[in-house]
Amino acid sequence: MRAVALHGDVLVCWSRVWQTSCTAVRAGEEAVVIDSPVYPDELELLPALVERAGFDVKGLLATHADWDHLLGRAAFPQAPLGCAETTAARLAAEPGRAQRELRDFDERHYVARPRPLSLPTAQALPVPGYCEVGDQELELHPADGHTSDGMAVWIPWSGTLVCGDYLSPVEIPTISPGGSPDGYRATLERLRPLVQRAEAVVPGHGPVLEPERALALLSADDSYVEDLRRRGPSAALPPGRTSAEQRRIHAGNVERLA
């Protein structure tokens, strides 16, 4: 598992699968972990990694309720999980879904885990709003459209934006069940001023971005989603993201919007 210190108080690591990012944030004597890596050995390594960096993890945050962002409890089983009110509502409305999708992934990829994923009731956080960490506050911003739920996290003292499954340089926009093109584009516009202020942008999948690159991706993603809404299967994929896997994701988008 690769890890990079973006700031004295921000550490980002990536899973080997889908370049899924996980961000540890520290303020004073407390730290939280946003999202999660995926494989069991990565989750086993994560507590020691952040502890060596001086991060005393007191809580977890999930940008949205897709299963690959919910595995922090496997690394920190005693830490409470916080999420947007929309995400808490989705988890309550879809009991067992994350566990089933994780089990399906594990069966396809021959992954053995030491124990099933435990997801006790998440703490619903008001979004837009704030989340206190030590002597600082994270800003929480709505980020629906990819799914029906979600939030982006702005870390003001480091100028870092953790944006969930948006602005990925490796994956085209995905309109999942419950998401919508209009909601996706609205989230992109909410993210724009944050990206313009940022020192670094952490997408849910892919490497850390400089703001200029993130703004270029934002424009390309907005164009794709609008083209998808208007032209369906004929929509042009964003430049640099035209592989067979991205064409498969595009076909899924078309099918769900049909």
Which residue has 């962002």 as its token pair? 69
Confidence band of 1 (pLDDT split at 50, 70, 90): confident
User: How buried is residue 156: exposed, middle or buried, by Cβ count under 10 Å (0-12/13-18/19+)?
Assistant: exposed
Confidence band of 32 (pLDDT split at 50, 70, 90): very high
What is residue 30's three-state secondary structure?
Answer: strand
pLDDT of residue 258: 85
Domain boundaries, the chain: 2-257
Residue 118 has pLDDT above 90, yes or no: no
Distance (Å, whole) CA 114 – CA 147: 29
What is residue 239's three-state secondary structure?
Answer: coil
Rounded to the nearest 10°, the torsion over CA 151, 157, 159, 165 is -20
> Residue 113 contacts by C-beta under 8 Å, 6 or more apart in sequence?
40, 74, 106
The topology under which CATH files domain 2-257 is Metallo-beta-lactamase; Chain A (3.60.15)
Angle at 201 between CA 122 and CA 237, to 5 degrees: 95
pLDDT averaged over every residue in the chain: 96
From 1-5, 53-57, 173-177, 244-248, the region with the lowest mean pLDDT: 1-5
Nearest to 218 by CA among 201, 199, 243, 235: 201
Rounded to the nearest 10°, the torsion over CA 79, 105, 250, 14 is 50
Contact 69, 204 (CB under 8 A): yes
Instruction: Tell me what the mean pLDDT of segment 237-243 comes to.
Output: 95
Residue 121 has pLDDT above 90, yes or no: no
β-strand partners of 235:
none
Confidence band of 120 (pLDDT split at 50, 70, 90): confident
Instruction: Tell me what the mean pLDDT of segment 221-246 comes to.
Output: 96
Distance (Å, whole) CA 258 – CA 129: 35
The encoded tokens of residue 245 equal: 């896997």
